[in-house]
């Protein structure tokens, strides 16, 4: 298994469609439309962020998408927008490997939003994530 990290300057445009399709499939009920996933990837290229891929024999087995907020000191610098591993290879350590890389390459605090019933909360807690705030949204 190989972990690869990309930013704006070395973004793997040739894998973009494959990454969008992977996230669309493997995020399952926690996912977004392909259009929205594409926006988060474009943000990395246009405004900053990191893309972390786990590859096995050229095949994608896990993806993390981080967008940089550029708002450090009042909003965390990094938003972990998506994390997904291959549906058929869950609980084999891929998510942990990707999160280790995310923590390694991202400077500063990391924010993520997660469904209150998502078992992935355990994974994030293992890495020290806490939830001191309640998020409130005005949907309009």
Ligand X SMILES: CC(C)(COP(=O)(O)OP(=O)(O)OC[C@H]1O[C@@H](n2cnc3c(N)ncnc32)[C@H](O)[C@@H]1OP(=O)(O)O)[C@@H](O)C(=O)NCCC(=O)NCCS
- Integer Cα distance of 2 and 36 in angstroms: 27
- Integer Cα distance of 34 and 25 in angstroms: 10
Q: Which is nearer to ligand X, 69 or 96 (CB)?
A: 96
Considering the rule CB under 6 A, would residue 120 count as an interface residue with ligand X? yes
In the complex, minimum distance from the CB of residue 104 to ligand X, in angstroms, rounded to a whole number:
15
- Integer Cα distance of 25 and 96 in angstroms: 20
Considering the rule CB under 6 A, would residue 53 count as an interface residue with ligand X? no
Answer for the pair 1, 55: CB distance below 8 angstroms, yes or no.
yes
Considering the rule CB under 6 A, would residue 122 count as an interface residue with ligand X? yes
Considering the rule CB under 6 A, would residue 128 count as an interface residue with ligand X? no
In the complex, minimum distance from the CB of residue 64 to ligand X, in angstroms, rounded to a whole number:
8
Under 8 Å CB-to-CB from 107, ≥6 apart: which residues? 77
Considering the rule CB under 6 A, would residue 135 count as an interface residue with ligand X? no
DSSP state of 138: -
In the complex, minimum distance from the CB of residue 9 to ligand X, in angstroms, rounded to a whole number:
26
Beta strands in 38-133 (DSSP E): 49-56, 59-68, 78-85, 110-111
**Applying CB under 6 A, which of residues 14, 28, 35, 135 lies at the interface with ligand X?**
28
Number of chain residues interacting with ligand X (CB under 6 A): 21
Q: Greatest CA separation found in the chain?
A: 45
**Applying CB under 6 A, which of residues 11, 27, 36, 38 lies at the interface with ligand X?**
27
Interacting residue ranges for ligand X, rule: CB under 6 A: 26-28, 30, 83-85, 90-96, 112, 114, 118-120, 122-123
């Amino acid at each position: 298994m190989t972990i690869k990290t990309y930013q704006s300057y070395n973004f793997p445009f040739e894998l973009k469609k494959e990454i969008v399709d992977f996230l669309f499939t493997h995020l399952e009920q926690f996912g977004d439309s392909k259009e929205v996933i594409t926006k988060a990837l474009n943000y990395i290229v246009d405004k900053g962020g990191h893309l972390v891929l786990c590859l096995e024999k050229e095949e994608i087995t896990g993806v993390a998408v981080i967008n940089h907020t550029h708002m450090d000191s009042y909003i965390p610098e990094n938003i972990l927008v998506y994390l997904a591993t291959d549906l058929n290879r869950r609980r084999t350590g891929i998510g942990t490997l990707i999160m280790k890389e995310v923590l390694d390459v991202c400077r500063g605090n990391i924010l993520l939003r997660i469904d209150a019933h998502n078992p992935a909360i355990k994974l994030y807690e293992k890495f020290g994530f806490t939830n001191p705030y309640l998020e409130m949204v005005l949907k309009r």
